[in-house]
Amino acid sequence: MFGWKRQKKKPSQVPLEVTDASTDEAVLPRRGFFAKAAIGGVALGATGGLAKVTISSVPSEDLQELYFKEAQAGDKVLSEREYVEMTGREKEEMVEDLIMHHKKHLGDL
Amino acid sequence: MPKDTRRDDGESGETRRDFLRKAKNYSVASLAGTAALMGTPRVAKATKNVTWAEHFQDHYRLMTEEEKREALDRLEKRYSEEFGKAVTVDDTPAKDGVLLGYALNIQKCIGCRRCVKACVRENNQSRNDPEIEWIRVLRMEKGNFSAEDMDKGYPDHFSFEKPAKFGPQVGGNAYKAAGVTLEGQHYYEAEKVPEKDAFYFPMQCMQCEKPPCVKVCPVRTTYRDPDGVVVIDYNWCIGCRMCIGACPYWARRFNWGEPNLPADEMNPKTHYFGNRPRMKGVVEKCHFCLQRTRKGRYPACVEVCPVGARKFGNLLDPESEVRKVLARKRVFRLKAELNTYPKFFYFID
């Protein structure tokens, strides 16, 4: 029930090793920290390098195959399309629409 | 176990466990480092000299004239170094009073695929693994073409008990197939063309007036230029492939890997939005050979066609070839209206 009170008091009761220690002793924990940081840094970089090499060595999918797959899917869809002949009126309207849209795009209309 | 492992006599010592742990860390790190150094990354030709400036280049339309000049100079220098020849990167803008259009005579096309090969050569497309082609020639089974039956509508003998198999198609009516009856074959290998009972249907970018690919592009790297050509700023493309999904004509191609363009086959006359070498992860497509057409020349496919099936011109000029085709020939449109207003037409005499 009152455990939190006991825990709260603990830090002040713990002796401060570094500040209470002599100058020579204080250098050692710092050196240890730097050494660990250096090892960590090297390990991190090396792991990244290793991961990169591992990923790049995995055989990638055949590029030609990927391209073919897309092309063939398109072939199927496109060959099923139906075309109809345009009437004279339709052709005229289409040209008019194209020109009108073009002029609109240029801000002439 | 006490954390402080220093001995009482002041000598800094380590436990065996600490020593082994450190030794393990060093071993892993050095092994991994060696592996990383030994692995030679595969740097492709088109990207090995890409500078930071190119990486962080702005959208072409937002660049100042000075920035554009710098970008073009940079590209020219890089391509020239990479391909060992003097490469020019042009950015000739669209001409005023021009709206480019294209017409193809499907009756004349013999399926030789010279247009496909000419396009590959002209536009610096990837040659092998993968071989990328912007024009696809569909080989179709020739039906019983009958001009008399065209647009005749439903035949009198129609009955619901025996419904007809086919819908309205080129040269047929509601219940009689006349043109497109079999699946197309993109990579047909014929001993001799034209084959008996086959006709050919080349397809490429239709340069739509209302292009769906432009609407879906999240970074606006693809857009319609004033002469009606839909262009792509390859440096701005993020490779999301939205445009590929949106194109109803399947005209766009994606660079899954680094394009394979041999230096001796590279066409050194390039355009920024046209045939300059592309990189992995970007989309490309037909652009009516901008590097040619903006200098008053025909596209490579038009020039190479041995039977003159391909016509090209200015839709704003009533005297142009393409307008004459539209006025005098039998032109086809997709039955299903897609409202994209393509500027690429199919016709017969």
Least confident of A54-68, B110-124, B220-234: A54-68
The string of DSSP letters for B147-216 reads: GGGTT--S-TT--SSS--S----TT-BTTB--S--S---TT---SSSSPTTEEEEEE-----SS-HHHHH
Please tell me if residue B228 touches chain A, with a CB cutoff of 8 Å: yes
A102, B180: Cβ pair inside 8 Å?
A: no
Q: Which of residues 149-168 of B touch A (CB under 8 A)?
A: 150-151, 167-168
Q: Is the pLDDT of residue B247 over 90?
A: yes
- The band of B182, judged by pLDDT with boundaries at 50, 70 and 90, is very low
Query: How many angstroms separate the CA atoms of B77 and B27, rounded?
Result: 45
Query: How many angstroms separate the CA atoms of B151 and B155, rounded?
Result: 11
The model's pLDDT over B55-85, given as tens digits with 9 standing for 90+, comes to 889 999 999 999 999 999 999 999 999 999 9
Environment class of A65 (CB within 10 Å of its CB; exposed 0-12, middle 13-18, buried 19+): exposed
Length of chain B: 349
The shortest C-alpha distance from A4 to chain B (Å) reads 25
The shortest C-alpha distance from B87 to chain A (Å) reads 27
Tell me if the bond preceding B130 is cis, omega within 30° of 0: yes
- Cross-chain CB nearest to A71 (options B29, B186, B209): B186
Q: Is the pLDDT of residue B152 over 60?
A: no
Give the pLDDT of residue A84: 83
The percent of chain A in helix, strand and coil, each rounded to the nearest 5, is 80, 5, 20
* Kind plus residue range of the DSSP H or E element containing A6: helix A3-13
Beta strands B100-105; B344-348: pairing state: parallel
The CA distances from residue B180 to B13, B84, B139, B249, in Å, are 86, 47, 10, 16
Handedness of CA B240, B287, B336, B116 (dihedral sign): negative
Which residues of A are less than 8 Å from B186 in CB distance? 71-72, 74-75
- Cross-chain CB nearest to A46 (options B33, B257, B327): B33
SS3 B347: strand
The string of DSSP letters for B227-241 reads: TS-EEE-TTT-----
Angle value at C-alpha B94, between B127 and B134, nearest 5 degrees: 20
Highest mean pLDDT out of A73-87, B150-164, B174-188, B268-282: B268-282
The shortest C-alpha distance from B225 to chain A (Å) reads 10
Please tell me if residue B254 touches chain A, with a CB cutoff of 8 Å: yes
Which residues of B are less than 8 Å from A94 in CB distance? 326, 333, 341
Least confident of A33-42, B59-68, B176-185, B337-346: B176-185
Q: Does the model's pTM come out above 0.80?
A: no
Which residues of B are less than 8 Å from A69 in CB distance? none
- Cross-chain CB nearest to A98 (options B151, B187, B315): B315
Share of chain B above pLDDT 90, in %: 60
Q: Which residues pair with B202 in a beta bridge?
A: B137
The interface predicted TM-score of the complex, written ipTM, equals 0.74
Tokens of B312: 């090209």
How many CA atoms lie less than 13 Å away from B225 in the CB half-sphere?
26
How many CA atoms lie less than 13 Å away from B275 in the CB half-sphere?
29
Q: Is the pLDDT of residue A29 over 50?
A: yes
- Cross-chain CB nearest to A85 (options B25, B185, B330): B330
Going through chain B in order, the beta strands assigned E by DSSP cover 88-90, 100-105, 136-141, 198-203, 222-224, 230-232, 253-254, 269-271, 283-284, 310-314, 330-334, 344-348
- Cross-chain CB nearest to A46 (options B32, B185, B332): B32
The model's pLDDT over B92-117, given as tens digits with 9 standing for 90+, comes to 999 999 999 999 999 999 999 999 99
